[in-house]
Chains A and B, each alone.
Chain A
Amino acid sequence: MNETQFWTFFFIILTFGIYIIIAWRSRVKETKEFYVASQGVPTLANGAAVAADWMSAASFIGMAGLIAFLGSDGSVYLMGWTGGYVLLALLLAPYLRKWGKFTVPEFVGDRYSESVRIVAAVAAIVVSFTYVVGQMAGGGIVFSRFLGLSIEWGVVLVAVVIFIYAVLGGMKGITYTQVAQYTVLIIAYLIPAFAVAYQTTGIPVPQISYGQILAELDSLSVEFGLNEFTEAFSGRAGGQIDVFLVTLSLMLGTAGLPHVIIRFYTTKTVRGARYSAFWALFFISLLYLTAPAVGAFTKLNLLQGVQGQAPDNLPDWINTWAPTGLVTVNDDVETIGTVSNIATSGADLIVNNDILVLASPEIGGLPAPIVGLMAAGGMAAAMSTAAGLLLVISSAASHDLYFRVIKKTGASEKEQMMVGRIAMGVAILFAIWAGINPPAFVAQVVAFAFGLAAATFFPILILGIFWKKANGPGATAGMLTGLAFTGTYMIYTLEVFGTGANDHIFNVSPEGIGAIGAALNFIVIVVVSKLTAPPSEYVQEMVEEIRYPQTRKVDVRS
């Protein structure tokens, strides 16, 4: 075992031990604890839990590498995945908390109709499941690279730990492990970032100091056949319109994803939900503001390290990562002349986006404990998101489908808990299977889960709160239109399910189509709701009630 492996083992065992202790201390007996942690999660803790729930293996491992190569256009992810929280905080979280039950399908079921609930439950399961597979695979990569474990064993190990705390503690166990996981992942992300910034510029604040290297990075990038980091609309093919639409799709999708929304059901009050949203974005921003700096510094170090070098004289990290197949070198050239992140580009050195963050301590020449910490951070990011998603799958399958469609009445508290736990267990088994044999289309589908969430959930939730006249037929028609339109365009432009990829219409990429799908969804809901009977008095009264934090006290400020 080398030094890096020792430190990786050390941090992985330490952190997994902490998660399991937390799980044991927060085991639960009732459905209200299992699904919403008894609505007793303190604001600050919920903020940290949302942040961990939200930041997945993709945010931690993939995003900075993606931005490094996209340059300016990487902002679609930065703005898209944070701007959605403004919508969530102002338009959804306080009202859904006031309504206060267990799941997102349950809200649309109460607000619109039972059939909307079933469609929403199925959609929540599909979206969450594709997402879970990515987390499992991400965890497997970390294990195989740092510990030399096979990907299969890596996935199984991750799943067993998640199984222990999710089945034992439900939402309560997940919440408090997420708080711990946030702490681990943010420390693991920031320490190497600050160290690399200090090494490169002498100023240990990466968010500020990466400005200083941009001019140098631009000229080096051009030298190696890459686009300039600072030039707008050069990283993505679609140009300005596409950047606009992708950003909007990601924002609307963020606000509509069920695993994030349900976290706001767990606060004690509506006020708690508002402040949770603030803390959540504050904690998320610590990573998101650092990611472009990590991308820029690592890319600069990478290009400087290979500049003018022969293929057999490259920095050490290239050799350590070569066995993963994520770095490839063309041995036939005299010196490395071109660099790319695209496998088919034919460049002399091809570096996959996904290794830039995990390899950044090595690229920057940082010591072994930091490399080990990075591995623990990547695991924390993958596990915290997987657990949140598994809870959505379990609650949709048991609470929204099984007890609504199959066994409608007479389920005791004990029975509901048992079914919830079984659903969680089955979901984890599926996740293990899919994490080991990821279906070819998963990577693509994950990226488009946002577009689908934007085109289906977001409009029916917003109109459900802000327009009393929105009714069941409108919501059903709107959701199906959004889904059909967005799904069709994605299949039309992508090679999934064996279909050929067609050209983008008006430069709109499949990632950006969700914004148009959402707009269609809004229009259809409004038109159909106007043409059909308005919702019952009871439903309109419910909408009225969720708009105010609580029944007014007669003596103001008691």
Chain B
Amino acid sequence: MSDVAHEGTSGGPPETEDTSWRKRYWKKNLRLMITLLVIWFTVSFGFGILLIEPLNNIVILGFPLGLWFAQQGSIYVFVVLILVYALWMDKIDDEFGVSERNEEGGYK
């Protein structure tokens, strides 16, 4: 069907291999993902839009706080969230022996 054979996708694991780890791996992945998405929603839609007016009453270094979240703070948090996801997934990958660290990856 495919003209490109890729590592991993070719054939899948043999029938005999124990695949119960996969459920645990996926669950950990989902839990991390949902936690990070809750933070994502809180800083952007929460602080930057829904609560922007009350937060604007607090002024720091000239910035009304709600405006700061909407134009600066949320973006800082987004960058950190993606980094935390990549680092944390490395830990989960290691735990389950599916790490790709020895092939080319991110941080040296």
Which residues does A use to contact B, with CB under 8 Å?
Answer: 32, 42-43, 67, 72, 74-75, 78-79, 82-83, 85-86, 89-91, 94, 98-101, 207-208, 210-215, 230, 232, 240, 243-244, 247-248, 268-272, 274-278, 281-282, 285, 288-289, 292, 541-542, 544-558
Contacts and interface: CB of A to CB of B under 8 A. Distances in A.
Given A271-B101, A552-B21, A83 B44 contact: yes
Nearest to A270: B100
Nearest to B61: A211
B105 to A, nearest CB: 4
Interface string B60-72: 1111101110111
Contacts of B21: 552
Contacts of A82: 74-75, 78
A408 B83 CA distance: 42
A280 to B, nearest CB: 8
Interface size class of B (residues with CB under 8 A): 35 or more
Interface of B: 2, 4, 6-9, 12-13, 17, 21-22, 25-26, 29, 33, 36-37, 40, 44-45, 48-50, 52-53, 56, 60-64, 66-68, 70-72, 74-76, 78-79, 81-83, 85-86, 89-90, 93-94, 96-107
A207 B107 contact: no
Nearest to A91: B33
Given A86-B36, A90-B33, A101-B4, 14 more contacts: A32-B4, A75-B71, A83-B78, A89-B85, A94-B89, A100-B9, A212-B61, A230-B64, A244-B49, A275-B86, A285-B79, A546-B9, A548-B8, A548-B22
A271 B75 contact: no
A551 B106 contact: no
Contacts of A100: 4, 6, 9
Nearest to B30: A466
A241 to B, nearest CB: 10
A556 B21 CA distance: 13
A202 B89 CA distance: 42
A484 B79 CA distance: 34
Contact of A271 (B17, B53, B66, B93): B93
Contact of A78 (B6, B29, B71, B94): B71
Contacts of B48: 75, 79, 247
B100 A271 contact: yes
A67 B26 CA distance: 41
Contacts of B17: 552
Contact of A268 (B36, B63, B99, B103): B103
Q: Which among A100, A101, A248, A275 has the greatest number of chain B C-beta atoms within 10 A?
A: A275
Contact of A551 (B2, B13, B89): B13
A552 B33 contact: no
Contacts of B81: 86, 90
A90 B97 contact: no
Contacts of B71: 67, 72, 74-75, 78, 292
A277 B83 CA distance: 9
A281 B107 contact: no
10 contacts: A83-B44, A86-B78, A90-B33, A100-B6, A232-B52, A232-B66, A244-B45, A548-B8, A549-B93, A550-B98
Given A272-B104, A292-B71, A552 B96 contact: yes
Q: Which among A90, A214, A215 has the greatest number of chain B C-beta atoms within 10 A?
A: A90
B99 A42 contact: no
Nearest to A40: B104
Contacts of B13: 551-552
Given A82-B75, A285-B75, A214 B62 contact: yes
Contacts of B66: 232
Nearest to A89: B82
B106 to A, nearest CB: 3
A247 B43 CA distance: 13
A88 to B, nearest CB: 9
